[in-house]
Amino acid sequence: MGLALLDVADVIRPYPELIAYLQGVKNDNFLDELVKFEGGQEAQDAITAYLNKYGMRCVGEIDMTKTRWSEKPITLISMILSNIKNFEPNASKRKFEQGRQEALKKEQELLDQLKQLPDGEQKATETKRMIDLIRNFIGYREYPKYGMISRYFVYKQALLKEAEQLVQADIIHEKEDIYYLTFEELHEVVRTNKLDYQIINKRKDDYKLYEKLTPPRVITSDGEIITGKYKRENLPDEAKVGLPVSSGVIEERARVILNMEEADLEEGDILVTAFTDPSWTPLFVSIKGLVTEVGGLMTHGAVIAREYGLPAVVGVENATKQIKDGQRILVNGTEGYIKIL
């Protein structure tokens, strides 16, 4: 979906007036307004087509109550504008082809090395078969999550339809109030048209309180909280330690981004954030490195960084507070540390 957003940028790029309008939009009715500008109909069609395919995604998408891109399309604007600024036309095809060529080159290097070993031809043949299997089928691992999130959006729309009827019947104040009920409780409210509002008010207050809490890094299944430090030696002075999850070393500008709507990236920037999930994937086409506060070898950011060949260090405590936006930093994804330059 990152490459598809580059294609959306290509549609808008030739129209300066349209770009200027998008730079100033503040609310979600901008899609209807696009047709007033030259190229607006094409832009509207391109964004709508993107939302039809990926609009059910959002940050924290496994939580059904989170606002989807289709519900708040303005979330995508900063990424589209960054793509227009940072890339030439047809960048998605070039990036895809570049990745393909790099993969084929690496494949050939591996096979050539294997052929030098005893029984090398057999090892190379077997390895080539496995590489082909992975290259053909690895994409399918995205389908279960895509299907699940697509269904979640359908469920959400159905539940909000019920909630609208409850609002009209003056049983709840606003449809989002149902987010504070369990499914069984909502079922009962719909059945009886009765609700004790104290339940919702108390849960709203609790939610505000919980949002201010910082969860511990590690908590055992017995509820024990374990604290500790990374045990690493031979690291440079003033290095901030994390977990090495994608090898390589990069020195570039850090962009500290906590909210995807504010993602004003330039090609080559290093993304510094609390964590990433699939909704952040479109940003990975622009960045050259990744630093997150939480995560491990198999969390989203680590996996995507390896797929894109980006140096990445995760589990860097308070990275978004220790690193200031715009600072030049070094990310060593091989040794697992970062350094502010």
User: pTM for the full model?
Assistant: 0.84
The tens digit of pLDDT for each residue in 109-138 reads 999 999 999 999 999 999 999 999 999 998
Q: Domain spans of the chain?
A: 2-86, 240-340
Q: Tell me the fold of 240-340.
A: Glucose Oxidase; domain 1 (3.50.30)
Q: Name the residue type at position 138.
A: I
Q: Give the whole-angstrom CA distance, residue 82 versus residue 63.
A: 28
Take residue 305 and report the two structure tokens written for it: 């960084």
Q: Cα 267 from chain centroid?
A: 17
What pLDDT is stored for residue 243 in this prediction?
Answer: 93
pLDDT band at 92 (very low <50, low <70, confident <90, very high): very high
Catalytic residue among 95, 123, 128, 300: 300
- Residues pairing with 330 in the sheet: 251, 339
Q: 119, exposed or middle or buried, with CB in 10 Å at 0-12, 13-18, 19+?
A: exposed
Would you say residue 42 has pLDDT above 90? yes
- Going by C-alpha positions, the residue among 315, 270, 325, 265 that lies closest to residue 2 is 265
- Going by C-alpha positions, the residue among 243, 219, 220 that lies closest to residue 231 is 243
Q: Is 300 a catalytic residue?
A: yes
What pLDDT is stored for residue 263 in this prediction?
Answer: 79
The tens digit of pLDDT for each residue in 244-291 reads 999 999 999 999 998 887 778 888 899 999 989 888 888 888 899 999
What pLDDT is stored for residue 54 in this prediction?
Answer: 95
pLDDT band at 229 (very low <50, low <70, confident <90, very high): confident
The tens digit of pLDDT for each residue in 180-223 reads 999 999 999 999 999 999 999 999 999 999 989 988 878 899 99
* Mean pLDDT rounded to a whole number for the chain: 92
